[in-house]
Structure 1
Amino acid sequence: MSFKNFPMVSRVIYGRGSFNQLDEIISPKRQGRDAPFIYFIDDVFKGNHWLTSRVSLSYKDKIIYVPTEEEPKTSQIDQIVEDIILEFSEHPSGIIGIGGGIVLDIAKAVSIMLTNEGESKDYQGWDLVKNPAIYHVGIPTISGTGAEVSRTTILTGPERKLGINSDYTPFDQVILDPELTKDVPKDQWFFTGMDCFVHSIESLNGTFLNAFSQSYGEKAFEICKEVFLEDYLSEEEAQDKLMMASWHGGMSIAYSQVGVAHAMSYGLGYLLGIKHGVGNCIVFDHLEAFYPEGVKLFKQMKEKHNIVLPSDVCKDLDQHQLDIMIDVALGLEPLWENAIGKNWKSKITRQTLQDLYLKM
């Protein structure tokens, strides 16, 4: 039997205010005056002096503010890469992503595509990337996606919504500063936090589960219960803990996989443009048949925080549109195998998925 030799984030710094050390951390990686650091920053921080004043630009360094209304598309990545190649005479010294999962995924994808030929859609899948990415740094400003630690970058392409899953995807450096999450709106905090909760449930209940994944998944699960169901944590403690739950949730799927909620959420995201965290919640709310205990806890969390999920998002879809979502979901074979087992195709039919989508 051959075991997968997974890469990990090679360097990580944790602590309130650790963002202030960014310049000190990346300076030794500078390749010269004409090789800039390019910062992708969530455009919610545009004009936010508290954060942007701490980004120190030298030489040809550049900030690109990223709108996050929509999930990243392969065409968007290709355009950014082309713009960078046309603007600068040398490869950037590094790519730094500061934001939530969307911004972190863009930073990972761009760093890969700067050193690999062709279009990003050609790399959607597992282990298709040939050349190491350029140096890239991830700085999450919201907790839950696990994008800061995972070996995937989720992109919507012309034919499917699927990550670039590769050994070259993980960040070379991550800065975990819980203080950066202080202004996250309540709904967004919940939806993104639930991405982490669902990671842990799908990993812990999957057929790929092993002691490595279980140790991380159990920790993420326990922290999520504490943050979303208990009242004794201060705001700062909750921020600190959720940031670590996100890390552990992302690690829990390194040696296992996600499952039904993620597979079906990708269908919603591809066709309807529903954001990943929200999509996970819409789907997970209807998955008692697969994850009874997890769904029960999720409903308690939803009620405690007065969260109202979008409803009837699929009710006006025609058969062709439903089929597109079902095709995207069923295309994620490793997720179904983890959730159901090797014989999943005999248990999960198109009708099963269509009935579930029509409830949402």
Structure 2
Amino acid sequence: MVSRVVYGRGSFNQLNEILSPKRKNAKAPFIFLVDDVFKGNAWLTSRIPLSYDDKLIYISANEEPKTSQVDELVEQIILNYKETPSGIIGIGGGTLLDLAKAVALMLTNKGEAKDYQGWDLIKNPGIYHVGIPTISGTGSEVSRTTILTGPVRKLGINSDYTPFDQVILDPELTKDVPKNQWFYTGMDCFVHCIESLNGTYLNTFSQSYGEKALELCKEIFLEDTLTEKEAADKLMMASWHGGMSIAYSQVGVAHAMSYGLGYLLGVKHGVGNCIVFEHLEEYYPEGVAMYKAMRDKHNISIPQGVCADLSDKEFDIMIDVALSLEPLWENAIGKNWKKTITREKLKALYLKM
């Protein structure tokens, strides 16, 4: 679990107070990885407490994070600084948070990021790392994984060393998120709940978090009782609880197939989940009906025909990625999932997208 959490509007202003005791010395910088959407946004960037050799690196979140991107950032830090940084701080959505976690881990573990895609392959704790989400829903701020697209697959670095040492949850930071992105990322949280609560890995611990997150999602996306600020506060909490639920259970069919879309076509994770979830009535009938009600209520258009012009070889690539995520299928279907989840079954589903 994340060991330290600060929550509240304006809590971002406590960043300097939080980081100062963690600075090793004047030559060991803090590295801030920041979504480049905030470039020139003094409202946020002026409050980042840069001192000594601290470095602010703007990173585009237009594409999913890659293992090669992690390796490049690690190399850049090693070449530019004689001492290991005091910490890595990720400020942004799931892409930036995942990059921050991965860089912190790879600064203390030899090899390339692709070597650690999988479960419990990390041997050494990462350096101090802090997550500050500026959009709610991914659960990356609390999860034990960092989802990366590698040369042969899209898969997380899943380990007990991955979670942040400190998280700052300030709903004010989400105020300018575009509506479509707000919905796609919010649905990532919603799908976390549905897949966790309907999975074979479910236990009372994960269930308690999943049920609370689902309750909040219903309130946010189906009811008209909340102010904009209240909805933002609650979605940040839904994201946290949803992330906790899957951290102690697992996701399922939507995520497995979404990873295939992300790996081959570069479809962003949130919208990829929506594209897939549209067609999963067989597995999550109540969840899909609820999702479609949310989609219609907020008048959100989901991309259609993304797989329309793919070759058989391209379908095979997506199917290979999806099938490689065995824990997800076992959670969704059970230990005998290979009897029903065939390549033909997955291709038929992808053809609908």
Q: 1:318-340 CA deviation, whole Å, 9 max, x = no partner? A: 00000000000000000000000
Alpha-carbon distance in structure 2 between the residues aligned to 1:165 and 1:312: 32
Q: 4+ residue stretches of structure 1 with deviation over 6 A? A: none
Gaps of 5+ in 1: 1-7
Q: 1:232-262 CA deviation, whole Å, 9 max, x = no partner? A: 1000000000000000000001221000000
Q: What SS does the aligned partner of 1:82 have?
A: helix
Q: 1:244-294 CA deviation, whole Å, 9 max, x = no partner? A: 000000000122100000000000000000000000000001000000000
Query: Where in structure 2 are the equivalents of 1:219-234 lying within 5 Å?
Result: 219-234=212-227
Alpha-carbon distance in structure 2 between the residues aligned to 1:254 and 1:32: 34
Indicate whether 1:196 and 2:195 are aligned. Answer: no
Aligned residue identity for 1:323: D
Aligned residue identity for 2:202: L
Match of 2:328 among 329, 335, 352: 335
Residue in structure 2 matched with residue 120 of structure 1 by the alignment? 113
Aligned residue identity for 2:301: V
Match of 2:254 among 249, 261, 268: 261
Indicate whether 1:104 and 2:76 are aligned. Answer: no
Q: 1:40-61 CA deviation, whole Å, 9 max, x = no partner? A: 0000000000000000110000
Aligned residue identity for 2:214: F
Q: What SS does the aligned partner of 1:47 have?
A: coil
Alpha-carbon distance in structure 2 between the residues aligned to 1:176 and 1:68: 20
Alpha-carbon distance in structure 1 between the residues aligned to 2:131 and 2:61: 16
Residue in structure 2 matched with residue 88 of structure 1 by the alignment? 81
Indicate whether 1:184 and 2:177 are aligned. Answer: yes
Q: What SS does the aligned partner of 1:13 have?
A: strand
Query: Where in structure 2 are the equivalents of 1:302-317 lying within 5 Å?
Result: 302-317=295-310
Task: State how many pairs are aligned.
Answer: 353
Residue in structure 1 matched with residue 238 of structure 2 by the alignment? 245
Q: 1:201-233 CA deviation, whole Å, 9 max, x = no partner? A: 000000011100100000010100100011110
Residue in structure 2 matched with residue 3 of structure 1 by the alignment? none
Alpha-carbon distance in structure 1 between the residues aligned to 2:250 and 2:198: 10
Residue in structure 2 matched with residue 68 of structure 1 by the alignment? 61
Alpha-carbon distance in structure 2 between the residues aligned to 1:136 and 1:255: 21
Residue in structure 1 matched with residue 27 of structure 2 by the alignment? 34
Residue in structure 2 matched with residue 208 of structure 1 by the alignment? 201
Alpha-carbon distance in structure 1 between the residues aligned to 2:220 and 2:232: 9
Residue in structure 1 matched with residue 123 of structure 2 by the alignment? 130
Displacement of 1:137: 0.2
Aligned residue identity for 2:344: Q
Residue in structure 1 matched with residue 286 of structure 2 by the alignment? 293
Residue in structure 2 matched with residue 175 of structure 1 by the alignment? 168
Alpha-carbon distance in structure 1 between the residues aligned to 2:138 and 2:318: 22
Q: What SS does the aligned partner of 2:345 have?
A: helix
Alpha-carbon distance in structure 2 between the residues aligned to 1:52 and 1:18: 15
Q: Please tell me the root mean square deviation across aligned C-alpha atoms, in Å.
A: 0.4
Indicate whether 1:147 and 2:143 are aligned. Answer: no
Alpha-carbon distance in structure 1 between the residues aligned to 2:278 and 2:104: 35
Q: What SS does the aligned partner of 1:253 have?
A: helix
Alpha-carbon distance in structure 2 between the residues aligned to 1:77 and 1:96: 14
Q: What SS does the aligned partner of 1:65 have?
A: strand
Residue in structure 2 matched with residue 326 of structure 1 by the alignment? 319
Displacement of 1:186: 0.1
Q: Could you tell me the TM-score, scaled by structure 2's length?
A: 1.00
Q: Could you tell me the TM-score, scaled by structure 1's length?
A: 0.98
Gaps of 5+ in 2: none
Residue in structure 1 matched with residue 272 of structure 2 by the alignment? 279
Aligned residue identity for 1:63: L
Aligned residue identity for 1:249: G
Q: What SS does the aligned partner of 1:63 have?
A: strand
Q: 1:290-310 CA deviation, whole Å, 9 max, x = no partner? A: 000000000000000110110
Displacement of 1:189: 0.2
Aligned residue identity for 2:267: I
Displacement of 1:93: 0.1
Q: What SS does the aligned partner of 2:214 have?
A: helix
Alpha-carbon distance in structure 2 between the residues aligned to 1:244 and 1:56: 26
Q: What SS does the aligned partner of 2:63 have?
A: coil
Alpha-carbon distance in structure 1 between the residues aligned to 2:249 and 2:89: 28
Alpha-carbon distance in structure 1 between the residues aligned to 2:226 and 2:67: 40
Q: Percent identity?
A: 78
Displacement of 1:115: 0.4
